[in-house]
Amino acid sequence: MPHLRRPRPWPRRWLLWIGLGIALRLIFICFPRPVDDDTWDYLLLGHNLLHHGIYGVGSGTGISPSLFRLPGYPILLAGFERLFAPIWPNAWWKTLFLMQSAAEICGGLLLAGFARRHLSDRAAEIALALAMLCPFTAAYDGIALTECLSVFAVSLGIYAAGRALDAAAAGKTDWQALVAGGGAAAFAMLLRPDGCLLLAALAGGVFAYTVRARSVQPAGQALRRSLVAASVVCAAGLLPLVPWTVRNYVRFQVFQPLAPRYINDPGERVNSGFDRWLRTWSTEYVDTANVCWNAGEGNIDLDDIPPRAFDSANQRTRTLALIGEYNRHDSISATLDSRFGALAAERVRAHPFRYYVTFPLLRAADMLLRPRTVAFYLDVFWWRWSDHPGQSACAILLGLINLFYVAAAAWGFVRGRVPWAWMLGGYLVLRLLLLATLENPEPRYTLECYPILIVAAAAALAHKKKPGPTTLAGERETSQLAVRQSTTDPFVCEISCIPGFWARLQS
C-alpha cells in the first residue's frame, strides 16, 4: 500500500478571498437586481407544479402542460417556495439567492482545488481570487435564472474530470470522479439545453486523454478502458434525463430529451423566416434588445434597423415595408413570416460567407467581449458618454475587467500552461460555435465560460507551470505522485483539508 501523505492545509489568507466573495454576493442580493422575462417562466412553471401538480403554463383551470423549459430550475423554485414561503411569504426567494451564492462560492473552491492539484499553490490562490471577485457571475446570484447554477455545474465537471484523468494517468480508474463528472453534466442539462456541451467536452476529454495516458498498455486494452471511462461519464450524464424524455414522449408524442431550439411547445408555430432574417444582420446585443425582443410584443422602430440589414436601396424599401406591415398588427402571421424568409434567402444567396462566417463570429465576439450592462442597470447604449457619463464610465470599467479575464485566459492557452487544454478549450470552442448560430446574442450566454477562463487566467498569471498533466509525456509520472499524495477516496484530499482549515481559524 502506498504511503499516504497528510494533505496540505489551505492557506489562512484564502479566508480573505472567500470573505470578499461572500460580501460581494450579499451586496448584489441586498440591492434589487433586474428581472428577466425568463424568470417569470421559471416561477410560473415551479408554482404550477407545486400547487397544481402540472408542469405547465397558465393559471387556474387553464394550465397547459409544457416542455419549452427544462425542469431542473422550476423544480428547485418549487422546493424553495414550499419550504420558505410559509415562513417568509414576501421574501422566500432571498433564500434561493443565498443558495445560489453558496453554490458559486463552492464552485470557486473547486476551481482553486483543480488549479492546486494540476498547477501550483500560487495558481490556486489566483483562481480563488478571480472566482470570488468576478462581478459578472456574482451579479447573477441575486437573479432567479439558471446561469449561477450552470456555472457551478461547469466548475464541478472540470474538477471531477481532472481527478479522473489523474487516476487514469496512474493506471487507475476513479469511478466516483467519472460519475461526478457525468452528474455535473446532467445537472447542467437539466438547467439549460446547452449543458449537453459540457457532457460532450468531458466525455471526449476523458476518452482522449485516457487513451494517451495508457499508451504503454496494449492498444486494445487501453482503448477498452478509455471507452468504459467515457461510457460511465455519458451514462451518468444521460440517465437523469430519462424521466423527462419519457414524460415528453407520453404527453406530447415527441422525442425531446432537452428543450426545443425556439422555446416552443409542440404544435406552436415558429417564426423561422423572421428568425433567419435576423441572422442575416443581427450581430450585437442592441439588436436583440431593440428588435428581437419586440417581435410579437410591440412596435419595432424603423430607426433600430441598422444599415447592414440592407444590401441595396430596393432591399431597404422592401424591408421597411415588411416592418411597417408588422407594426400595424404587432404580430407575425405565417404569410409575413414567409416573406421575411424569402428576404433572408435572398441575402444569404448574395453573401453566404457573411451569413455563415462573418456575422456568427461577430455575434460570438459581442457576447464574449461586450460590457455586461444588463445585470448592473446600465444603458445598453453604453458608449453614449454625453447622455450618461457615469454609466458609460462604469460600463467601460466592466468591459476592461471582462477583457482582462478573456485576455489572460487566452494567454494561458497560447503559452501551453492550461492543464487538460484540449478538454477545457474544447468546451469553450463548442459553446462559442453554438452561440454564434443564435439570432439573439446576449452576453449572459457566455457566463458558463468563466470557470474555464478563471483556470486558464490563473495558469497564465502564476507564471510557472506545474509539470505533469499539461504535458502528455509526463502524465503518468505526475499522476502517480498525485495518487501517493491522496487517499483511497478520490475526493478526500481536498475535502479533508477543511477540518484543518477551520481548526487553524479557531486557534
Can you tell me whether residue 388 is helix, strand or coil? coil
Assigned domain for 444 exists: yes
**Residue 223's pLDDT is what?**
83
Residue type at position 421 = A
265, part of any domain: no
Residues 378, 414, single domain; the answer is: no
Task: Give the pLDDT score at 91.
Answer: 84
In a domain, 427, yes or no: yes
Are both 309 and 350 inside the same structural domain?
yes
Number of domains in the chain: 2
Alpha carbon separation from 302 to 8, 321, 326, 423 (Å, rounded): 63, 10, 11, 45
Output the pLDDT for position 344.
95
Only one residue has cell 482522449, namely 208
> Is the residue at 495 inside a domain?
yes
Task: Kindly state the DSSP code that residue 281 receives in the 8-state scheme.
Answer: T
- Whether residues 54 and 198 share a domain: the answer is yes
Locate 157 and state its grid cell: 465537471
Question: pTM of the prediction?
Answer: 0.87
List the chain pLDDT tens, one digit each, 507 residues: 334 444 566 677 888 999 999 999 999 998 877 778 889 999 999 999 999 999 998 887 788 999 999 999 999 999 999 999 988 888 888 899 999 999 999 999 999 999 999 999 999 999 999 999 999 999 999 999 999 999 999 999 999 999 999 988 888 889 999 999 999 999 999 999 999 999 999 999 999 888 876 555 565 677 888 899 999 999 999 999 999 999 999 999 999 999 888 888 888 888 999 999 999 999 999 998 888 888 878 889 888 899 999 999 999 999 999 999 999 888 899 999 999 999 999 999 999 999 999 999 999 999 999 988 888 888 888 888 888 899 999 999 999 999 999 999 999 999 999 999 999 999 999 999 999 999 999 999 999 999 999 999 999 999 755 444 444 334 434 433 343 333 333 333 433 343 343 343 333
Burial of 503 (0-12, 13-18, 19+ CB in 10 A): exposed
pLDDT on residue 474: 42
Residues 6+ apart with CB under 8 A from 91: none
Do 404 and 388 share a structural domain?
no
Domain boundary among 398, 433, 457: 398
- Quick one: 429 and 344 in the same domain? no
Q: Provide the pLDDT for residue 481.
A: 37
Cell numbers placing 268: 406552436
On whether both 345 and 295 belong to a single domain, the answer is: yes
DSSP 358: I
**Whose grid coordinates read 415588411?**
322
Last residue of a domain, one of 398, 428, 445: 398
Domain co-membership, 234 together with 381:
no
Domain boundary among 345, 370, 398: 398
What is the pLDDT at residue 379? 85
Q: Is residue 266 part of a domain?
A: no
Q: What are phi and psi of 388, to 5 degrees?
A: -155, 80
What pLDDT shows up at residue 212? 78
Q: Cell triple for residue 67? A: 416542455
Q: Residue 180 corresponds to which cell in the numbers above?
A: 461526478
141 and 285 in a single domain? The answer is no
Same domain, 201 and 77: yes
Is 262 inside any structural domain? no
Q: Are residues 130 and 175 in the same domain?
A: yes
Q: Is residue 251 part of a domain?
A: no
Any domain includes 1: no
Residues 6 or more apart whose CB falls under 8 angstroms from that of 85 comprise 92
> Does 238 lie in the same domain as 309?
no
Q: What is the pLDDT of residue 220?
A: 67
- DSSP secondary structure letters along 76-137: HHHHHHHHHTTTSTTTTHHHHHHHHHHHHHHHHHHHHHHHHHHT-HHHHHHHHHHHHT-HHH
Rounded-to-integer distance, Cα 477 and Cα 372, Å: 43
The secondary element (H helix, E strand) that includes residue 64 is strand 64-65
Q: Are 450 and 130 in contact (CB under 8 A)?
A: no
Which pLDDT value is given to residue 9? 64
Residues 414 and 392 in one domain: no
Residue 494: predicted pLDDT:
39
- Residue 475 has a pLDDT of 40
CA angle 334, 340, 344 (to 5 degrees): 140
Domain that holds residue 285: 272-398
